[in-house]
């Protein structure tokens, strides 16, 4: 095997926006880490809703991608190479967090977006925590300022963000209410939800009242029906679109989106 061949890797890329069929498995050059970066040998990669939205071109007006592009933000794996001036990690360290181009054999990550993987956490588990965990954490604790004893409604409690939000709300000491479909009711309850609403048989707005915080992971009509369940000065935080401040004011409540910080290592450390 030549030196050039050892620098090759497999990556799932797309050359144009479109349906899943635009994704192709290709041989590409392995990236090299720059200052403050490491190269991770990917053991597991997370799949998030943001990935298909990027691939379909839904976000190209706001976040134009350089094509061809390799998706994948959530990774877990082993440090293969460290860039200049990196002292936080060494070759052979198992890590997880946020990277660029995780749908590949190797991916680049800044040291500010990864943390050491605990021995008790599998690579597969670690690869689920970056996007979903950070979004849930920032939404609940930075945007909503959720406190122990408050009532929290998680719209979409079985999803990637919602399932972690249920667990974090329970950990914080909130009374957690979550919506989900029939097949996931027991699962969401096992995560720590105090009350689980099957949205296929009940309208949430008919059975829930006086909520301090709504974390909406669904958007659309679900968001519109969430205003009435909030108590005065409660807050609706959405990760599925920016809520309308005028609607919030009309209901006497507050609203917020979720902005992920560039440096997420402190949040990831809290999650484990």
Both 77 and 12 in one domain: the answer is yes
pLDDT of residue 5: 55
Half-sphere exposure in the Cβ direction for 45 (13 Å, CA): 22
Residue 193 sits in a domain whose CATH number is: 3.40.50.720
> Is residue 268 one of the residues assigned to a domain?
no
Segment holding 177, helix H or strand E: strand 175-180
Contact by Cβ (8 Å): 71, 140: no
Both 118 and 139 in one domain: the answer is no
Contact by Cβ (8 Å): 79, 38: yes
Residue 250 domain boundaries: 132-256
Both 231 and 136 in one domain: the answer is yes
Does the structure show a pLDDT above 80 at 6? no
The mean per-residue pLDDT over the stretch 75-95 comes to: 97
Both 100 and 36 in one domain: the answer is yes
Among 127, 151, 168, residue at a domain's last position:
127
Both 141 and 228 in one domain: the answer is yes
Q: How far apart are alpha carbons 77 and 259 in whole angstroms?
A: 26
Phi/psi at 270 (5° precision) = -70, -35
Helices and strands (H, E) in the chain, number of each type:
10, 14
Kindly report, residue by residue over 154-202, the tens digit of the pLDDT: 999 999 999 999 999 999 999 999 999 999 999 999 999 999 999 999 9
Both 116 and 214 in one domain: the answer is no
Both 64 and 177 in one domain: the answer is no
Task: Give the predicted TM-score (pTM) of the model.
Answer: 0.90
pLDDT of residue 2: 53
Phi/psi at 234 (5° precision) = -70, 175
Does the structure show a pLDDT above 60 at 128? yes
Both 201 and 149 in one domain: the answer is yes
Number of structural domains found in the chain: 2
Q: CB-based burial of residue 8 (10 Å sphere; 0-12 exposed, 13-18 middle, 19+ buried)?
A: middle
Matching residue, tokens 């990550």: 109
Q: DSSP for 188-251? A: HHHTT-SEEEETTTS-HHHH---EEEEEESS-THHHHTTGGGEEEEEEEEESSS---HHHHHHT
217: CB partners within 8 A, 6+ apart: 154, 155, 156, 159, 161, 162, 165, 238, 239, 240
Among 127, 144, 175, residue at a domain's last position:
127
Kindly report, residue by residue over 223-257, the tens digit of the pLDDT: 989 999 999 999 999 998 888 899 999 999 999 99
The mean per-residue pLDDT over the stretch 261-270 comes to: 92
């Amino acid at each position: 095997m030549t030196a050039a061949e050892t620098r090759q890797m497999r990556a799932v890329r797309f050359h144009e926006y479109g349906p899943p069929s635009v994704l192709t498995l290709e041989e590409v050059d392995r990236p090299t880490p720059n200052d403050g970066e490491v190269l991770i040998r990917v053991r597991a990669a997370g799949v998030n809703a943001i990935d298909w939205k990027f691939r379909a071109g839904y976000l190209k007006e706001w976040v134009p991608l350089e094509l061809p592009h390799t998706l994948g933000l959530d990774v877990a794996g082993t440090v293969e190479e460290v860039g200049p001036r990196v002292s936080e990690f060494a070759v052979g360290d198992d890590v997880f967090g946020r990277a660029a181009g995780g749908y590949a054999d190797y991916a680049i990550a800044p040291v500010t977006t990864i943390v050491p993987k605990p021995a008790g956490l599998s690579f597969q588990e670690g690869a689920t925590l970056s996007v979903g965990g950070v979004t849930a954490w920032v939404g609940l604790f930075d945007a909503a300022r959720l406190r122990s004893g408050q009532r929290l409604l998680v719209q979409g409690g079985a999803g990637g963000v919602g399932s972690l939000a249920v667990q974090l709300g329970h950990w914080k000491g909130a009374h957690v209410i979550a919506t989900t479909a029939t097949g996931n009711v027991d699962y969401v309850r096992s995560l720590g939800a105090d009350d689980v609403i099957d949205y296929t048989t009940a309208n949430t707005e008919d059975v829930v009242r006086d909520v301090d915080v709504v974390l909406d992971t669904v958007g659309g009509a679900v968001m519109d029906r969430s205003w009435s369940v909030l108590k005065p000065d409660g807050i609706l935080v959405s990760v599925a679109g920016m809520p309308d401040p005028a609607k919030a004011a009309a209901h006497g409540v507050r609203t917020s989106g979720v902005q992920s910080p560039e440096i997420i290592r402190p949040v990831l450390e809290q999650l484990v």
